[in-house]
Amino acid sequence: MAEITNYKYRVEPQDVDFTLRASAPSVVNYILNTAGLDAHNKGFGVEVLQRQSLSWVLSRLSVEIDSLPAQYDEFKVATWINEFNRLSSTRNFTLHDRSGMQFARAVSQWCMINIESRTVADMSSLEDTYRAAMVACPSPCGKPARIGAIDPQHHITRPVVYSDLDFNRHVNTLRYIEMIFNALPIERIERNEGMRIDINFIAEGRWGQTLDIGHATDGNRTNFEIKADDGRTLCRARVEWR
């Protein structure tokens, strides 16, 4: 059995929004970078998987944010894996400020795909390395919810552009989070009284496509569905304010 691993960061100028605090998308960015770095440090990073034509794919994510750190604040991301089977792995995160207060937490579910066939791969080949990295500690918040189709009240369309692309020429995970926040009322973001985000990643957006970002609000909840111009759903999400 392994132990929870901690990574230290600082809120950089590019992370803050107009409130001079880290934006929620930048917090998600630190969470995802920590996942990549910790997988690398423990022997199952993308560069190891690529030798077997495999890659990690984030399938679902839940994030709860109570408050956001200010520019140049230092903070710590703790991460651990507590579930693993042939088809899915669960990685957890808690975020703490310098005084040790937990200000955010997250649960992510990953699968593995074969890069060539683009199909889901069996993770059994990683089992030995992976078991050694497991930590017997429960997830810090509710697992990512399954989000259903929505009947959007509003639509935004935008092309996939160069700065959206990851190394696979697919839309970077973080861009979906930005699209979601760009569609939310700015006043709500400004007075952030705490939120929970649930996201399901369903298919890959590609260079040359135009995306449709549909959303519908009911009270404190806004549901999102992002589709490609061929009608395929790429991503569904829900943001719930406290």
Residue 70 near a copy of itself by CB under 8 A: no
Burial per residue of 89-101, b for 16 or more beta-carbon CB atoms within 10 angstroms, e otherwise: bbbbbbbbbeeee
CA distance 3 to 185: 40
Smallest gap, in angstroms, from Cβ of residue 2 to a copy of itself? 23
Q: What is the dihedral of CA 127, 133, 139, 140, to 10 degrees?
A: -160
Q: Which of 182, 202, 206, 233 binds a copy of itself (CB under 8 A)?
A: 182
CA distance 115 to 176: 21
In the complex with a copy of itself, the residue whose CB is nearer, 23 or 223, is 23
CA distance 6 to 80: 9
Residue 119 near a copy of itself by CB under 8 A: no
> Cα–chain-centroid distance for residue 27?
9
Token couple for 232: 């395929």
User: Among 79-87, 105-113, 165-173, 232-240, which window interacts with a copy of itself (CB under 8 A)?
Assistant: 165-173
Smallest gap, in angstroms, from Cβ of residue 114 to a copy of itself? 20
Task: Please report, for residues 103, 107, 164, 201, the alpha-carbon distance to residue 80 in angstroms, rounded to integers and kept in the order given.
Answer: 17, 10, 29, 21
User: Among 121-129, 155-163, 194-202, 219-227, which window interacts with a copy of itself (CB under 8 A)?
Assistant: 155-163
Please count the residues of this chain forming the interface with a copy of itself, following the rule CB under 8 A: 31
Residue 168 near a copy of itself by CB under 8 A: yes
CA distance 79 to 9: 13
Residue 214 near a copy of itself by CB under 8 A: no
Residue 97 near a copy of itself by CB under 8 A: no
Instruction: Give the footprint of a copy of itself on this chain (CB under 8 A).
Output: 12-14, 16-20, 23, 25, 29, 32-33, 36, 158, 161-163, 165-169, 174, 178, 181-182, 184, 186, 189, 207
